[in-house]
Structure 1
Amino acid sequence: MKKFKSTVLIIVLGLIFSSHLYAKTAAKTAIIIASFGTTVPEAVQSIVNIESRVKAAFPDTEVRVVFTSNIIRSIWEKRSKEPKKWLKKGISEEILFTKNLLATFGDLKSQGFKDVIVQPTHLFHMEQYHDLTQYVNAIKSIKTIRDKWKPFNKIALGRPALGTVGDAYPYHDDLKRAVKTFAGDIALARQKGAAIVYMGHGNEVWSTGIYVELQQLMRETYPEVKTFVGSVEGYPGIEDVKKSLGHYTPEINKILLKPLMIVAGDHATNDMASDEEDSWKTILTKAGFDVETILQGLGSNDQFADIFISNIKDAAKASGISL
């Protein structure tokens, strides 16, 4: 009987050890959340919310966050010289000591990860996503004489929230999916009897026509509230938005002004909501509108944040990566 109990004990311990060993050796997939980043401490929470929801969705997968903006990382590097100060403010070490994409790939390589999914938090295929794609493709292109020496087995890149070019995932469907997550904003605007104006970032080197399409789809989906979408850079700008609003006076008097950005960072606090002469709030107030600003990034909207979880799953499936 003692011999039998000993045998059973050995088998059980063996199973426990082997399953633990398997769990450690099988954990070779990592997710990199690539965000432009922000220097505004309060705005970091929107990025943290996305990270937290991704971790909850993939509890057995390593998740890292990187900031793609060199300027933003340099500011956090200076702040990291006083770690206690920022840690007391609730800033995590991962944000305080944030790394770039290449450094993070290097860390993952040295730690034995073989499959990597890079999921951007960008809105559409514009300048930032284009550049991120080039970085990812460069790492994917590394070829070695023997496959076993390749730095990674598989690398996948997820698409932005509002989609990307190509027919694999029609961006019209991605737009419709995103518009559903704005229901809370529309309900608030309706409650206050207001129109809603979203301020996107935009850029000067790529078409921002996606904003016009988003605006039209918002109006079709939520006809009870007039929606306007503009951008800090590119078309339509604040003057275009003001002109469009003018067509609806005196029907529209009150405006909810909110960033169409992952974080309510520097652009939101200064270009949108400040009392400076050239801020969107000031310009629209001088135009005769009652303006209420909402400093909340899209990353704090759980439904919107979950778009990135869906895109991670799509990228993994298309690349044969197990999550």
Structure 2
Amino acid sequence: MKSLKKLAVTSMACAALLGFAATSHAAYQLSDEVKDATPALLQASQIGVKTNVNKDLANLPDKDAILVLSFGTTFQDSRAKTIEATVDAIKAAHPGVKVVTAFTSHIIIDRIKANEGLDIPTPEKALEQLKAEGYTRIAMTSLDIIPGMEYTYKDAVYNLHKNDFKKMTFGTPLMYWQGQEGQDDDITATMQALSTQFPKMGKKDAVLIMAHGTPHPANAYYAVMQDRLNELGLSNALIFSVEGWPHLDTVIPQLKAKGIKNVTLMPLMMVAGDHANNDMAGDEPDSFKSILEQEGFKVDAYIHGLGENAAVQKLFVEKADQAWEALQAK
């Protein structure tokens, strides 16, 4: 669009009007030809890493923290190997910095409290506690896969609480940029990272990658993922979803047309929780594994969350780094 251009340096004009600044992968800036931009138009141009500066708190000392936001899981083993391992990697990249984890699923938080006695905060409670402890600048980062409904919840938290702090930034999910206008191609990078866990495949072998799916328009990301897999020469790796599109019955005809006999199922989810263990690989007749076997395929299941993949962990650390760098930017 002619009214938007890539923001490569901090925009002092927009910072003065909106209280935000950006790094090279942070956002877009309205064209200089726009002379009378309203606050709503300026806010709409904030795409990518978001930054808010509350000038009323400018005299407070800098005390920085990172808040890592995840949906969460009640599966303890997977939680340790995925969420906790990724948070540990973020901590290792930021020694000496306070790093706090919050879950967005209130149901999961309640179940963990009841079954394990652990108090994991919601994002709102985590921010309240950080403020009470005197932290004035917060870099929020997300362990979401795409910018769907869960990421929208976290974005709402940012918008509702950004002025509680001297400065707050909010990073992007694992897949956000698609290589447009010189930006990073998060989709290709993630598909490359995902492919490191693929088994060796012959012409009659395929990998079925089970995404969650969403009623949010971000469901369209799955089509882009499939496009990138094809571009990478991984056309025998097919995306389908539990609750969105494409469905399993969308890809089964494609498998048969390709002459596929052997299928490996794996989740495109941060953790290997209920969807991976039951919907995907369960023994019930309506599980995806059972349905594929009924269709004549030999099926193996790779029951590991994306957070166990070292290459994916690295990408999440980079996302946290971007939010942190925006927090440190002058």
Output the TM-score relative to the length of structure 1: 0.78
| 8 A contact 1:256–1:292 mirrored in 2 | yes
| 8 A contact 1:284–1:291 mirrored in 2 | yes
| 8 A contact 1:36–1:68 mirrored in 2 | yes
Aligned equivalent of 1:153? 166
What is the CA distance between 1:165 and its match in structure 2? 8.9
Distance, in Å, in 2 between the alignment partners of 1:37 and 1:134 is 18
Distance, in Å, in 1 between the alignment partners of 2:180 and 2:325 is 16
When Rg is computed on C-alpha atoms for both structures, the one with the higher figure is 1
Seen in structure 2, the aligned counterparts of structure 1 residues 169 and 304 have a Cα distance that, compared at 3 Å, is: farther
Larger helix proportion, structure 1 or 2? 1
Q: Does 1:190 align with 2:201?
A: yes
Aligned equivalent of 2:63? 28
Distance, in Å, in 1 between the alignment partners of 2:202 and 2:96 is 42
Distance, in Å, in 2 between the alignment partners of 1:130 and 1:232 is 20
Q: Does 1:56 align with 2:92?
A: yes
Distance, in Å, in 1 between the alignment partners of 2:181 and 2:322 is 10
| 8 A contact 2:93–2:317 mirrored in 1 | yes
**RMSD after superposition:** 2.4
What is the CA distance between 1:33 and its match in structure 2? 1.1
| 8 A contact 2:158–2:170 mirrored in 1 | yes
Aligned equivalent of 2:175? 162
Aligned equivalent of 2:242? 232
SS of aligned partner of 2:242: strand
Seen in structure 2, the aligned counterparts of structure 1 residues 139 and 167 have a Cα distance that, compared at 3 Å, is: farther
What is the CA distance between 1:46 and its match in structure 2? 0.7
- Residue 173 of structure 2 aligns with an amino acid whose one-letter code is P
Aligned equivalent of 1:15? none
SS of aligned partner of 1:199: strand
Aligned equivalent of 1:199, options 210, 218, 234:
210
SS of aligned partner of 1:275: coil
- Report the more deviating stretch, 51-60 or 306-315: 306-315
SS of aligned partner of 1:129: helix
Aligned equivalent of 1:104, options 117, 126, 138:
126
| 8 A contact 2:69–2:102 mirrored in 1 | yes
- CA deviation map 1:165-191 (0-9, x unaligned): 996984x611121122123223x2338
- Residue 69 of structure 1 aligns with an amino acid whose one-letter code is S
- CA deviation map 1:184-206 (0-9, x unaligned): 223x2338963111101111243
SS of aligned partner of 2:258: coil
Instruction: Count residues in correspondence.
Output: 270
Distance, in Å, in 2 between the alignment partners of 1:35 and 1:76 is 14
Seen in structure 2, the aligned counterparts of structure 1 residues 308 and 197 have a Cα distance that, compared at 3 Å, is: same
Aligned equivalent of 1:148? none
Aligned equivalent of 1:180? 192
- Residue 158 of structure 1 aligns with an amino acid whose one-letter code is G
- CA deviation map 1:59-79 (0-9, x unaligned): 121111111011111111211
Distance, in Å, in 1 between the alignment partners of 2:113 and 2:160 is 26
Seen in structure 2, the aligned counterparts of structure 1 residues 192 and 242 have a Cα distance that, compared at 3 Å, is: closer
Q: What is the percent sequence identity of the aligned residues?
A: 30
- Residue 133 of structure 2 aligns with an amino acid whose one-letter code is Q
Output the TM-score relative to the length of structure 2: 0.76
| 8 A contact 1:163–1:169 mirrored in 2 | no
- CA deviation map 1:10-30 (0-9, x unaligned): xxxxxxxxxxxxxxx988211
Seen in structure 2, the aligned counterparts of structure 1 residues 273 and 318 have a Cα distance that, compared at 3 Å, is: same
- Residue 101 of structure 1 aligns with an amino acid whose one-letter code is P
What stretches of structure 1 of length at least 5 have no aligned partner?
A: 1-24, 84-95, 143-150
1:1-323 paired onto structure 2 within 5 Å:
28-44=63-79, 45-80=81-116, 83=117, 96-140=118-162, 142=163, 151-163=164-176, 170=183, 173-186=185-198, 188-190=199-201, 194-223=205-234, 226-249=236-259, 252-320=260-328
- Residue 176 of structure 1 aligns with an amino acid whose one-letter code is T
Runs of 4 or more, structure 1, over 3 Å off, are 164-170, 318-322
| 8 A contact 1:27–1:61 mirrored in 2 | no
Seen in structure 2, the aligned counterparts of structure 1 residues 280 and 242 have a Cα distance that, compared at 3 Å, is: same
Seen in structure 2, the aligned counterparts of structure 1 residues 115 and 61 have a Cα distance that, compared at 3 Å, is: same
What stretches of structure 2 of length at least 5 have no aligned partner?
A: 1-59
- Residue 72 of structure 2 aligns with an amino acid whose one-letter code is G
SS of aligned partner of 2:250: helix
Distance, in Å, in 2 between the alignment partners of 1:166 and 1:209 is 16
| 8 A contact 2:138–2:327 mirrored in 1 | no
